[in-house]
Amino acid sequence: MKKVGITGGIGSGKSTVCRLFADNEVAVYDSDKEAKRLMNEDCALREAIISRFGEESYDADGLNRKYLADKVFSDDEALQALNALVHPAVKRDFERWAGEQSGDYVVLESAILFESGMNEMVDITLAVVAPLDLRVSRTCRRDKCDEESVRRRIAAQMSDDELTRRADITIVNIFETDLEPTVKELDYRFRNVHQ
């Protein structure tokens, strides 16, 4: 079974694109969501996080995201350490999940497809990009946050130029009405073209 990795920066519309693939009966693995689940449910991962970052990493409700985010914010070494624990667990879980799916192909959604090395686990990589100001306004509208913080988060991510250079296919997401036919065409191609 083919695996398609979909990535893009904040507000590019990768989740919207993935939702359209799901509407075409394609199974989608949301690596961000699954990483959070694994940090709560995978006992070995949980133990490793506690031993590196302390008992405060979890509270009565499970993962203490605020505490961990503060720990890794502006501490690159801590962020690398957390990634080195979480990424292998997500990779294992994705392989397991993909093995359970049926159909011609599956989709892996990841904001950090290339940074995490998960690009190496898929057959085709697809980047969703959009003009910067559009990404900022979409994100502000969605998250009700300020423009400055969105621009800062975007600046810390891989640029659209770099994503376009690395990915096999790029979708430029400007008009919502264009997305559906684009995804339909790609769906046809992924099902029928053997590469």
For 120, half-sphere exposure in the C-beta direction (CA atoms, 13 angstrom radius) is 6
C-alpha 60/C-alpha 88 separation (Å) is 26
Q: Are 177 and 11 in contact (CB under 8 A)?
A: no
- Pick the binder of ligand ATP from 4, 5, 6, 10 (CB under 6 A): 10
C-alpha 183/C-alpha 18 separation (Å) is 9
Indicate whether 14 belongs to the interface with ligand ATP (CB under 6 A): yes
- Pick the binder of ligand ATP from 94, 113, 173, 183 (CB under 6 A): 173
Touching ligand ATP, residues 131-160 (CB under 6 A) = 138-139, 142
Stretch that binds ligand ATP, among 7-15, 57-65, 77-85, 114-122 (CB under 6 A): 7-15
CB of 172 to ligand ATP, least distance (A): 10
Q: Are 16 and 170 in contact (CB under 8 A)?
A: no
- Nearer to ligand ATP by Cβ, of 15 and 57: the residue is 15
Which residue, 6, 17, 14, is CA-closest to 179? 17
- Nearer to ligand ATP by Cβ, of 73 and 175: the residue is 175
- Pick the binder of ligand ATP from 3, 15, 49, 93 (CB under 6 A): 15
Q: Are 27 and 103 in contact (CB under 8 A)?
A: yes
- Nearer to ligand ATP by Cβ, of 106 and 179: the residue is 179
CB of 60 to ligand ATP, least distance (A): 28
- Nearer to ligand ATP by Cβ, of 65 and 142: the residue is 142
Which run of H or E residues covers position 28? strand 27-30
Indicate whether 113 belongs to the interface with ligand ATP (CB under 6 A): no
Q: Which residues pair with 172 in a beta bridge?
A: 129
Q: Are 105 and 1 in contact (CB under 8 A)?
A: yes
Positions touching ligand ATP (CB under 6 A) are: 8, 10-16, 111, 138-139, 142, 173, 175-176, 179
